[in-house]
């Protein structure tokens, strides 16, 4: 939840109930895809509690990231009655404190294990949770691929496998929406999928050693993991995948559906991977003015108003403003940065919406009055900003050059000298994005 809903004064969390009730109307859970793909083992109830708490997270003045959730709200979200949930939440505090994930650390380029909660307690009908600051970049001001889900929908799942698989497959929602494809397919190795679904404990010491050595997931699952359930493919398919498929495909709180098929390899014709075919149940109608990153009802209307008020002289349409907020993932800081960069431009901006979206998606920043793009040098930064500032068609021309360059249709020497450094920088950035995409899929 927002900072107005939860404040910390004199080391105490202060709950603004009215603000919480307003924010609940659009309580969305935003996680980096890296965090979604982390390996863990947890009950359905603990997963729901953590998801609700993460959706309600706020950064405190002392740097802590924490949440305060009313158990009455949890009861309503889970469609439960009576007082048994209060006992269940109290009993869940210890499992939450012991909840550990295994994830890939991009900065350190290694597998790490960490407890994502540093403090958790239940008092007077409220669950207080303080999260490990090491996951801050995965839940607040996320700068990489992320996925947003309505936390109330997540709380309605009846199977831990359904909830887990829904979160994993929902990372492909943006591909369906942006590409306008009817179906997108992803492949998981069977071994990794067993970890993702919690049928193998990733906290086993021998398993972690194997993961740090980058062993094949199937080998880890079959030869290293000591405790695993549903060892046979037929059992895994029947008790996990089919159960999850039935709920995800039929539930009205799920916006996606999927089919799957085993992928066999080797002389023994053994199942080694699973291919998922994901689709939107009610695909939106698209038009050229929309950037279909997220559902319209997930957009923070306050940010839409902020952008409109920041540029009163520009004739901006609501769908254009929504596109900017979508690009920012409802992140107020990213929108504010983009607005500030616009305001320091000396020349008029012909394509304001394109400029704002580019500033957000490409992580533009500013050092005093000089805008720069993260991971780009000064020359490339100025050229990119010039493209959006002066000639949108110039940016499109460079994009075409990048496509041809990456496809080896043209060589570096075929590119004009004045374009060469920019094209190479854009091509390198495209390769990074593709590499991340492939890692997410595999």
Encode the chain (442 residues) as per-residue pLDDT tens digits: 444 444 444 444 444 544 444 444 457 888 988 899 888 888 999 999 999 999 989 888 888 999 999 988 888 888 776 667 888 898 999 999 989 888 776 666 677 788 999 999 998 889 999 999 999 888 887 767 788 899 989 999 999 999 999 999 998 888 887 777 788 888 888 888 888 888 887 777 777 777 777 777 777 777 777 666 667 888 899 999 999 999 999 999 999 999 999 988 777 778 888 999 999 987 655 443 333 433 333 566 778 878 888 887 676 777 778 878 877 777 778 888 888 888 877 666 666 777 787 777 767 766 555 555 544 455 555 555 555 554 455 566 777 888 888 888 888 888 877 667 667 766 765 665 565 545 544 4
The three-class DSSP label of residue 359 is helix
Distance CA 356, CA 323 (A): 10
Tokens of 294: 């997220």
- The burial of 282, by beta-carbon neighbours within 10 Å (0-12 exposed, 13-18 middle, 19 or more buried), is given as exposed
Distance CA 55, CA 31 (A): 9
Distance CA 339, CA 270 (A): 55
For position 106, what pLDDT does the model report?
Answer: 62
Backbone torsions φ then ψ of 130, nearest 5 degrees: -110, 130
For position 82, what pLDDT does the model report?
Answer: 66
Q: At what angle do helices 332-343 and 352-361 cross, to 10 degrees?
A: 130
Please identify which residue in the block is written with the tokens 């992140």.
331
Cβ contacts of residue 201 below 8 Å, gap of 6+?
41, 207, 225, 227, 228
The three-class DSSP label of residue 271 is strand
For position 18, what pLDDT does the model report?
Answer: 47
What pTM did the predictor assign? 0.60
Distance CA 432, CA 438 (A): 10
Cα distances (Å, whole numbers) of residue 81 to 73, 77, 406: 12, 11, 58
Instruction: Count CB-CB contacts under 10 A for residue 87.
Output: 10
Q: Helix, strand, coil % (nearest 5) of the chain?
A: 50, 20, 30
For position 358, what pLDDT does the model report?
Answer: 75
Please, are residues 69 and 85 in contact by the beta-carbon 8 Å criterion?
Answer: no
Please give the span between the terminal C-alpha atoms of the chain, in angstroms, as a whole number: 33
């Amino acid at each position: 939840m927002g900072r107005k809903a939860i404040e910390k004064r004199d080391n105490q969390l202060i709950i603004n109930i009215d603000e919480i009730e307003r924010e609940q109307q659009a309580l969305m859970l935003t996680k980096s895809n890296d965090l979604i793909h982390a390996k863990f083992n947890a009950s359905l109830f603990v997963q729901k509690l953590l998801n609700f708490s993460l959706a309600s997270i706020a950064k405190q003045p002392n740097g802590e990231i924490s949440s305060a959730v009313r158990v009455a709200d949890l009861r309503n979200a889970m469609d439960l009655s009576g007082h048994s949930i209060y006992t269940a939440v109290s009993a869940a505090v210890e499992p939450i404190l012991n909840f550990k994930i295994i994830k890939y650390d991009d900065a350190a380029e290694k597998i790490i294990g960490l407890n994502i909660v540093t403090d958790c307690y239940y008092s007077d009908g409220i669950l207080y949770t303080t999260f490990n600051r090491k996951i801050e970049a995965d839940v607040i001001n996320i700068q990489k691929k992320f996925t947003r889900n309505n936390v109330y929908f997540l709380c309605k799942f009846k199977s831990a496998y359904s909830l887990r698989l829904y979160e994993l497959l929902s990372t492909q929602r943006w591909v369906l929406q942006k590409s306008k494809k009817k179906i997108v397919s992803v492949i998981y190795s069977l071994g990794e999928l067993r970890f993702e679904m919690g049928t193998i404990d990733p906290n086993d010491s021998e398993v972690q050693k194997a993961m740090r050595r980058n062993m094949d997931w199937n080998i880890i699952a079959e030869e290293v993991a000591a405790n695993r359930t549903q060892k046979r493919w037929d059992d895994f398919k029947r008790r996990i995948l089919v159960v999850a498929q039935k709920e995800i495909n039929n539930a009205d709180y799920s916006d996606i559906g999927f089919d799957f098929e085993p992928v066999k390899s080797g002389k023994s014709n053994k199942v080694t991977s699973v291919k998922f075919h994901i689709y939107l149940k009610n695909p939106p109608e698209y038009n050229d003015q929309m950037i279909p990153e997220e559902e319209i009802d997930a957009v923070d209307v306050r940010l839409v108003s902020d952008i409109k008020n920041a540029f009163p002289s520009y004739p901006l349409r609501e769908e254009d403003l929504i596109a900017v907020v979508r690009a920012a993932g409802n992140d107020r800081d990213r929108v504010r940065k983009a607005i500030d960069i616009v305001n320091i431009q000396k020349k008029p901006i012909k394509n304001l919406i394109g400029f704002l979206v580019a500033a957000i998606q490409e992580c533009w920043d500013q050092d005093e009055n000089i805008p720069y793009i993260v991971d780009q040098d000064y020359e490339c930064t100025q050229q990119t900003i010039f493209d959006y500032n002066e000639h949108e068609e110039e940016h499109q021309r460079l994009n075409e050059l990048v496509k041809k360059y990456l496809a080896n249709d043209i060589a570096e020497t075929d590119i004009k000298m004045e374009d060469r450094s920019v094209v190479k920088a854009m091509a390198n950035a495209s390769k990074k994005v593709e590499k991340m995409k492939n890692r997410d899929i595999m």
